[in-house]
Chain A
Amino acid sequence: MTRRILFLFFLMGSFISVGQQIVNHQLIARNLGEKEMHDGVVIRTFGFAQSFGEQPPIPGPTLYANEGDSVVLDLFNVSQGAPHTIHLHGLDVNQENDGVPHLSFEVHHMEHGYYYFVAPHPGTYFYHCHVVSTIHVQAGMYGVFIVKPPDGSNTTWDGGYSYSQEKLYTMSEIDPLWHEDSVMEHDHDTTQTIHEVSIPEYHPSYFLVNGQSEQQLLESEIVLQSAKEEVSFLRMANIGYLANRITFPEELNAKIISTDGRPIVNPEISDTLWISPGERYGVLIEPIVDLIDSIEISYVNMNTLTSEDIQYVPVLVSGTNGLNEVLIKRTFELYPNPSADQFYIKSFGQAYDCINIYDAMGRLVHVENHDYTEKKSININLAEGIYNVEILLSQCVLDTLKWIKR
């Protein structure tokens, strides 16, 4: 309560210029959430909701403020067990509002905690729990905080680029083992700064974009739909424990213009973008042709530097009924890539009966004949290099994928 009164005095004594407001957000911390994955499996989650009647979504609700707004964030902890906090990742708030338990404050069951700050540079930021963050972030306690320019317009920052629409893509992963009670219901002694907890090895099996994966990415909120020559602003953020390698269709003319809430002085025109855990990037796109394609998001293991999975965000330029075509286009997936002596071919429902592997000189170096419909492990000992993997059915080539052997 004292902090609230002090903040109100601060606001009364402060000069708030025209257009700048006091913005209130409330997040309700829950630890009995449930999330249904793309394959129907239901896992337990922690998370932040905005009402008592809803499951805490993953990611949490996207919060907004305009540059210069005074933000009051009310964390109401309605969950038993360990306390929770809000760390305002990248917003450079003062120590008291930073959300690190032993350096700030923690919010216990049925308590409110209030965070106060003035919204800084326009950009994309995270909020997440910082209590045993390794477990609580994986459990789902994260979301994105977006700061718009002072006038709230569709401009990247005051005097920056104008755009007609923006899309937010937040990448993360889920290892179901980490969502079992034995991990989530960890002991927590609030008098200690170091905690002994059970932290399993991390082997994620769900690779998420905005909490969705596989066929869920065909939902309209995920699909990047644009008119030709329309400028869109993509906010791309990674809160997972793997790195992301993003590949844009070159027809999108992707331009990387900002990172971590600050403009990039010399914007980079590139169809490839790496985003490591905790980073955010702003990307402008302006397609110049009609297009049905996808943004490829690879999830790269930070230790082995190999891709563990690839997800595809559909892209439709000037198209309104192209989702099925996108689905057909992504019939097969090859991963991890690059890899050593083993990789997998995953089929999205398409039967095939033969795999041919060609080296860079076009020589056929390996053939496998079987009937497959789902995932197939290929074990092969070849020299390092780039290979073309041809997938066939009844001698018709269905797809050709590139494999990098390292």
Chain B
Amino acid sequence: MDLKSFLIFFLWLSFSFNSCSTQVNDTLFINSGTLQTYNGSSINYSCFNESDAFEKSNKVLSYLVTDTVSLTIINNDNVAHLFKVNELGVESQLIIPGEQETVLIHSLNSGTFIYHDAENFPNHKIIGLAGILVFRNGNYSSFYWNLKEIDTVWIKDIAENNMVSTIYNPKFFLINGNNNPNINEDSLARVTGNVGDTIIIHVVNTGNSIHSIHFHGYHLKVEQSSEHPSHVGRIKDTFPINPMEVLTLELVPHQPGEYPVHDHNLIAVTGANIYPNGMFLTMLIEP
């Protein structure tokens, strides 16, 4: 038994003796496929999916803080990958094609995190391999936004193992792999609820650009900011989010209606000369 295996066994043993801890088993599949952009072109893309069928959005991992998660990552791709959650100190062994690795994940505190492929970073992240991990205190009404923009030239260069030589210039802007109007079809993304509800929105930026998310109709409270902890408690209508930053936002709607949420870098609500495209969706709040 090598040192790392021993440590994993020791952690597992520690969690097993914790009477409050619940063991949860979960699986991620690393799949490669193609992403259709709004102008009809296809680009190579990879994601952490919940089955061995390629999906263009990474699986949302959501657990209770009392959970100890045994997560198995199966590599269906033809290159090696490495699963990592920086803030929780979780890192797998290198996962070679056709093989699998298991990591134990536990968080003492609730929060939103990014899991990503740390092999050949940031290139594997740029081609899609980064998702949302949440540890929560209870069963709140929760929604999940994985913000990511697409520079098709960069992705093509990375997929073909070429040196990226152009200035980053994304033309497509996605939330959970979708652009407007398809984002509203994603039940994990489209905020719905009633006046007075407490709604938690977990936002991560797995792209390379800064985004500035503006809410119509409501102000929200910052519950967590990975880059700016001093911003916790601020009440705002527009939330900048830097690359690899996470935000947890609390919304308690005071009025009913259907209101947009969108990037206020208004270039990011377009794509292929379509408006509104990109990072634009609506929230639907009933009385």
Interfacial residues, chain A to chain B (CB-CB below 8 A): 87, 89-90, 92-95, 98, 100, 103, 132-135, 137-138, 193-199, 201-202, 241-243, 259-262, 264-266, 268, 274, 276-279, 300, 302-305
Contact = CB atoms under 8 A, between A and B. Distances in A.
A196 B273 contact: yes
B266 A134 contact: yes
A193 B216 CA distance: 17
Nearest to B264: A278
A194 B276 contact: yes
A299 to B, nearest CB: 12
A95 B170 CA distance: 32
A132 B240 contact: no
A274 B240 contact: yes
B266 A138 contact: yes
Contact of B212 (A132, A134, A261, A278): A278
Given A87-B216, A241-B266, A262-B235, 20 more contacts: A100-B260, A103-B259, A132-B275, A134-B269, A137-B266, A193-B181, A194-B274, A194-B275, A197-B274, A197-B275, A199-B275, A201-B169, A259-B234, A276-B240, A277-B264, A277-B265, A302-B265, A302-B267, A302-B268, A303-B170
Nearest to A99: B216
B259 A134 contact: no
Contacts, number: 133
Contacts of A194: 180-181, 274-277
15 contacts: A92-B254, A95-B217, A95-B257, A132-B275, A194-B181, A194-B277, A241-B266, A259-B236, A260-B219, A261-B237, A276-B210, A276-B212, A276-B265, A302-B209, A303-B169
Contacts of B269: 133-134
Contacts of A241: 265-267
A103 B258 CA distance: 7
Nearest to B240: A276
A95 B258 contact: yes
Q: Is the interface of B mostly helix, strand, loop or mixed?
A: loop
B216 A98 contact: yes
Nearest to A270: B230
B125 to A, nearest CB: 16
Contacts of B167: 304
Contacts of B238: 90, 260, 276-279
Contacts of A197: 273-275
Contact of B237 (A92, A133, A193, A196): A92
Contacts of A265: 233-234
A293 B217 CA distance: 40
A69 B277 CA distance: 36
Interface string B138-150: 0000000000010
B214 interface: yes
B282 interface: yes
Contacts of A89: 214, 237
B270 interface: yes
B142 to A, nearest CB: 23
A27 B113 CA distance: 45
Contacts of A195: 274-275
Contacts of B240: 243, 274, 276, 279
Interface string B250-287: 00001111111001111111100111110000100000
Contact of B219 (A87, A92, A98): A92
Contacts of B270: 134, 199
Contacts of A274: 240
Contacts of A259: 234, 236
A304 B257 contact: no
Contacts of B282: 103
Contact of A302 (B210, B216, B237, B273): B210
B218 interface: yes
B234 A198 contact: no
B222 to A, nearest CB: 10
